[in-house]
Chain A
Amino acid sequence: MNKLANVRVGFALFMLAVFAYGAYGVKDMVFGARIFPISVSAPGIILILIQLYREIRRSLNPGPEGTSNQERIIDVSSDTTSETSVIYSRGLRFLYWILGLYAGIYVIGFKLSIPFFFVLFMRVEGKAPWSVIALVTGVSLYIIYFHFQTLLGVYWPDCLLQQSGWIPIPWLFQ
């Protein structure tokens, strides 16, 4: 079984678990609350079992790594030309960047962590020159303050630094 086949079988099993829970999670509820989820989960379980059988059968007769066996879906297709391990390692790296940004937002706030994220991401991942970093960060901060905050009046997530009051945050970043 190649890695892509593993992903397909794994995803089908995940879907099976979702539909099984879809039926199980409402079993003790009144009829009115459970009829709709059961009506959705029951055909879901039947169809996913058929699909799982097809995925397993297909994984036992695999094409070359990364090929899709002439499958066509109406959606944006993924990159199937790169090595699967490269795709996953880069994907994981991007996930760490998002988690890092979340941590920054949680601790020091959205408006303060965004410029840090821009500088670090563009410098480390994109090897961007400082002039480009300054331009993109500057334009983004302008959008944050004058479009999102002033015109659209958006809300910002609370942060630990602001709640604790340990360090006074400059008014611009509050």
Chain B
Amino acid sequence: MVEAALIALRHMFEFEVFSMLVAGIAVGITIGILPGLGGTVGMSILLPFVWTLKPEAALSLLIGMVAVLRTSDTIPAVLFAVPGTAGCQATVLDGYPLAQKGEAGRALGAAFLASMIGGLIGALFLTISFPIARPIVQQLTSAHFFMLCIWGICMVGVLAGSQPIKGVLTGLLGLLMAAIGGAPSIYEFRYTFGLDYLEDGISLVIVALGIFAIPEIADLVIRGTAISTIPHKLGKGIRDGMKDTLRNWWLVARASVLGTFIGFIPGLGSAPASWIAYGYALQSAKDKSQFSKGDIRGVIAPEAANNAADGGAIIPTLIFGIPGSGTMAIFLFALMVMGVNPGREMLTTQLPLAFICVWSFALANVIAAGLCIFLTRPLAALTNIKVHYWVPVALMVIILGAFQTSRSWGDLILLLLLGLLGWFMKRAGWPRPPVLIGFVLGTLAEKYFWVSTARYGASWLYQPGVIILACVIVFSLWAGLRTRQEKKTEAEI
């Protein structure tokens, strides 16, 4: 284990790997600042370019991008009350009032340091999970992995907001899209409409770029203005804010651990983590009077939790191959494209690659916090740039990225059609992340289903592990729906 960690660390300081980490950080910071473009869009834009890189460099690029989104997304949240991503909505509650009091610098300083510590704690838990999970994963069979895929899809569907049916339906849509092309083990082509292009199935790159990136770009163009038209007032006190974080170290530690565990559960992620951490900070505070009026603890807790949640979300993806979000679904796909199978292989023969993820996550958090502290002013100015100035650049990268998939005009046509589908899904209020998760897990689920049936016949259904996982799925569905019902009843009262 230690040897693998050291091999990974040595790889991290190779020029190609480290420069890709820096590139990922740069992309992540930019995407975090621009509201509407989340981790899924960032990941889908980077995905086509990882094929030309060696696995260590590609993982650094992707993890570097994911790790720092929650650090830079605080800048528009504090300065303009516009959260850069859903993961920092809770930060607005106290961050913006602090900015209105002329203490934006203090809020940002506290947030950046809390984000960094949260990220490092997330990386620590990721490391601890490897030796714990290794003996468990080595006992799992294809039937268990099939059940884990089903669990992932159900959880994401149920937790996809106030409309669980829509969540499950879009997850099923993703599964159906994964069925396009050749069936596994049998010479049959499904849903190809006689087109050669569809015989190999459709690529996740096109699905992610079409369903996520194009609708976000379109909505920004439709809105037509800069993200913020208000000139930013940073004020002083970044150092004071960092001291506030260190003074509240126990809150940072608790919020980070909470965030890691919430991030670990498929379907939750950084947005619920930051809200729950905010609620926890509020409940545990002796003096609650300043919360939502500009209490620094209301910035520190969600910021620590949302970075830690991203570390937690990587654990089920690497260890069980179960992505908890659209971003992690693309990451899982990237791993498979690189020929790296999550699960047993990741914890044995490919362990140095797992540690590349850990080191990239930790280093990216440290570098991003430093960059954000020194570059807050120019980074905040990005939100004042008119969308029409940078949309052509984003569109160019998306189209070029999509074309790399199979170098066919079919890629570009499908990109446009899926872009329309994604935009209408957004307009009609249908959640899109389950489509990606269903799409990635669909291929895996069908493969595991066939391997299980070929190896065990129907008897795999009676394996104790399968029955336990079936009970976990039923319990998770019941608990998810019950929690929702309780919230609905509370809201009605």
Contacts and interface: CB of A to CB of B under 8 A. Distances in A.
Interface of A: 4, 7-8, 10-12, 14-15, 18-19, 21-22, 25-26, 29-30, 32-33, 36-37, 40-41, 43-44, 47-48, 50-51, 54, 68, 70-79, 82, 87, 90-91, 94-95, 98-99, 101-102, 105-106, 110, 114, 117-118, 121-122, 125-126, 128, 132, 136, 140, 144, 148, 152-157
A78 B426 contact: yes
Interface of B: 36, 38, 49, 52, 86, 159-163, 165-169, 172-173, 175-176, 179, 183, 185-186, 188, 190-191, 216, 218-219, 221-224, 267, 269, 271, 386-393, 395-396, 399-400, 403-404, 407, 409, 412, 416, 419-420, 423-433, 442, 445-446, 449-450, 491
Find the residue from A98, A106, A114 having the highest chain B CB count within 10 A.
Answer: A98
A19 B172 contact: yes
Find the residue from B36, B188, B428, B450 having the highest chain A CB count within 10 A.
Answer: B428
B433 A74 contact: yes
Given A90-B224, A91-B423, A47 B400 contact: no
Contact of B49 (A29, A101, A152): A152
8 contacts: A8-B429, A22-B191, A33-B188, A70-B491, A75-B161, A90-B222, A98-B416, A152-B49
Nearest to B174: A40
Given A90-B224, A98-B419, 10 more contacts: A29-B183, A30-B186, A68-B429, A72-B162, A76-B36, A77-B426, A105-B412, A118-B392, A126-B389, A144-B396
Find the residue from B176, B269, B391, B416 having the highest chain A CB count within 10 A.
Answer: B176
Contacts, number: 195
Given A73-B163, A75-B432, A90-B224, A122 B424 contact: no
A155 B431 CA distance: 33
Contact of B388 (A32, A50, A125): A125
A168 B38 CA distance: 42
Contacts of A68: 429
B222 A79 contact: yes
B431 A44 contact: no
Contact of A11 (B165, B393, B425): B425
A83 B393 CA distance: 28
B172 to A, nearest CB: 4
Nearest to B193: A25
Contacts of B431: 73-75
A19 B176 contact: yes
A73 B430 contact: yes
A21 B173 CA distance: 12
Nearest to A29: B188
Given A72-B161, A155-B403, A91 B190 contact: no
A40 B446 CA distance: 11
Given A32-B185, A152-B49, A140 B393 contact: yes
Contacts of A79: 219, 222-223
B176 A71 contact: no
A128 B392 CA distance: 13
B212 to A, nearest CB: 9
Contacts of B159: 74
Contacts of B424: 7, 11, 14
A71 B222 contact: no
Contact of A128 (B168, B389, B425): B389
A66 to B, nearest CB: 11
Contact of A22 (B176, B399, B426): B176
Given A15-B169, A79-B223, A101-B399, A128 B183 contact: no
